[in-house]
Amino acid sequence: MNYRIFPPDELLEADITLPLSKSLSNRVLIINALTEGAPDTVEVAACDDTDVTVRALSSDADCINIGAAGTAMRFLTAYFAATPGRTVTLDGSDRMRHRPIRELVDALRCCGAKIEYAGEEGFPPLRITGHKLVGGSITVNSSISSQYISALLMVAPTMQNGLEITLEGEVMSRPYINMTLGLMRQHGVEGEFVDKVITIPHGRYVPCSDKVEADWSAASYWYEIEALTSGWVTLHGLSNDSFQGDAKVASIYENLGVNTDYEGGEEETDGIALVASPDLSPRLVMDLSDTPDLAQTIVVTCAMIGVPFCLSGLASLKIKETDRLEALKTELLKVGIMVEIENNNTLVWDGARRPITAMPEFDTYDDHRMAMAFAPVSIYLPGIVVRNVEVVSKSYPEYWSDLVKAGFRLVDADAPMAEGTDADDSE
């Protein structure tokens, strides 16, 4: 389905209960599955990425298709490889079959795993025969995906000799590695992360009363909306004391006209208020290697409010749901913004524009973050179209209904216009 989107008629007011963090949820699900005596159920994010993990963990099927869920593919590869007596083929969507996984497979094989490629070498589908892994010392290229590291860490306590991982190259998304180690610590496994070496002893997880917090990545789209509207936005379920690296969005948006008011001060709270600020950086220069999932939101925000940028550390965006660097460059041209890609890891905009010749219709590339980052463009250009809006179910299924709650109007872009109406009329 395609939506034509119109902004609120009045000053935006939004009171939003955010979805739970899918990053925390997927880790909790894997750790719980490895924990003897863990609760049968735990409240996790209700979205595609966690749904496929839940189904896979409860399935006894010989072949499991995880669709486009990259996190599930990485985590479940390690989980099934370390599960004695389980033989399974992990498959996914066509895009998943073109997302590399060789680095993780090679690392698991070094630990004693039995994994074969059921299709193209280096890519899913994978045929996995689970058994107790030996572990030991391995070296992993950490410049590709932190999910490989997290997948190895979570199964490391089950390995006969534990696991020592030496990280080679630039460490991508370090906060996600710290998130994994933090959750493992809560479940009784204490790891060490010194310089670029992570050591996990052989051990046993203990049950923990898990409470998954709201998703700071989902909050980023409301930071974008606040930056574009200077309205009133309250977001529930967030904490300043968070495992999530994307909580950094609060400090990043101080450069883009949005301050964060933690209810009850800087302690753990149930929510935050976003407050408009006159402070804008003349140019945003930032390394996003720790928070690449925020890139699309930040880029679109800067483009709309006219802040030139140079954002580096984005190499991992090329192997996400789509090549997000190329997708951003292509879609921003539809609003006249001429972005350049440098060294396959940096997005640069010096303020160059070209005229807009048609009302933009944004493609989403089967990527939830493209849809959610571009929808707020309607604030500046009422009547834009976002295609294939169902992609948001991957992480934030209630996104569109939350926009409606905030006063946005969504129209089926493929439905015939009523006689006498104007597609650009937001009444």
Helices and strands (DSSP H and E) totals, the chain: 12, 20
CB burial of 331-350 (b: ≥16 within 10 Å; e: otherwise) equals: bbebbebebebeeebbbebe
Edge-to-edge, what's the strand order for the sheet holding 271-280? 13-17, 232-236, 271-280, 256-262
Answer whether 227's CB lies under 8 Å from 279's CB.
Answer: no
* Closest by CA position to 217, among listed 389, 14, 49: 49
Helix axes 48-58, 70-81, angle to 10 degrees: 20
Residue 127, sorted as left (phi over 0), alpha (psi -120 to 50) or beta, turns out to be beta
Answer whether 382's CB lies under 8 Å from 426's CB.
Answer: yes
241 part of the active site:
no
* 48, 293, 366, 402: the active-site residue: 293
Q: Is 39 exposed, middle or buried (0-12, 13-18, 19+ CB in 10 A)?
A: exposed
- Tell me, rounded to whole angstroms, the distance of Cα 35 from its chain centroid: 26
What are the tokens at 240? 């300043």
Active-site positions read 293
